Amino acid sequence: MGEFCDEPWALTEVSRLRELRLVAVERRAQALLDLGRPQAVIADLEAETVASPLRERLWCLLALALYRTGRQADALAVVRNAGDTLTKELGVPCGPELRALEDDILRQVESLTPAPPSVVLESVEESSQVLVTPAPAQPAVRGREGVLGELVALAGSVARRGVGFAAVSGEPGIGKTFLLEALAAWCVDAGHVVGVGALSRPR
């Protein structure tokens, strides 16, 4: 396929696929941060910011991950490096999200490291209780901590009982996909194999 690499349609497709990949990287990193696993994303985000230095969202996620592992000075250095890079390459200052994050880090705003909510669930087949502590919630999952906790508990129980089922339903746009992405990220980080598939409607 090398003979097509310079064709306009091929360049457009390559650009589209690169964008999709970066979005997936960002969503995975956000999901792991939401699950309280900042250490798991630092190395990947460091590599991604080198490869895509003009993408502010990657810098924000990296700075937040560093801050949540107790590396405030490194987090501030990342924010300032991002600002210097954008100014040098594009001649523009960093955006409002990056500036707000820098200010929050300097002031050690409590919302940067919210306390993880605990969800106590009663096992259907056992009388013992299961205590689940999902990750600190960012705005994208705030308000759904209970549901995420139930799904995480179910995933954990599968390792013991071997089977479990859950159905997530609701109106379009309420965050079902992001919720399941957060669950999948937790499962992968916990060493589970995650399979994703699609079902077509019966005719």
What are the boundaries of each domain within the chain?
Answer: 2-112, 119-189
Q: Give the pLDDT band of residue 49 (cuts 50, 70, 90).
A: very high
Which pLDDT score is estimated for 161?
Answer: 56
**What confidence score (pLDDT) does residue 86 get?**
92
- Alpha-carbon distances, residue 144 vs 129, 147, 161, 182 (angstroms): 21, 5, 26, 11
List, for residues 98-119, the tens digit of each pLDDT value.
Answer: 999 999 999 999 888 865 544 4
Q: Which amino acid is at 161?
A: R
Confirm or reject CATH 1.25.40.10 for domain 2-112, answering yes or no.
Answer: yes
Between 197 and 93, residue with greater pLDDT: 93
Q: Which of 24, 166, 33 is nearest to 101 (CA)?
A: 33
Its sign, for the CA torsion 176, 141, 71, 20, is positive
- Predicted model pTM: 0.56
State the pLDDT at residue 149: 76
Residue 197 dihedral angles phi and psi, to the nearest 5°: -145, 175
133's torsion region: left (phi>0), alpha (psi -120 to 50) or beta?
beta
- Cα 81 to Cα 73: distance, rounded to the nearest angstrom: 12
Q: What is the pLDDT of residue 137?
A: 43
* Ramachandran angles phi, psi of 118, nearest 5°: -110, 135
Q: What is the pLDDT of residue 113?
A: 81
Contact by Cβ (8 Å): 130, 121: yes
The confidence score (pLDDT) of residue 118 equals 46
Burial call 140-159: b when 16+ CB within 10 Å, e when fewer: bbeebbebbbbbbbbbbbee
Q: Please tell me the distance from the alpha carbon of residue 80 to that of residue 76, in angstroms, as a whole number.
A: 6
Residue 110: predicted pLDDT: 87
How much is the pLDDT for 56? 94
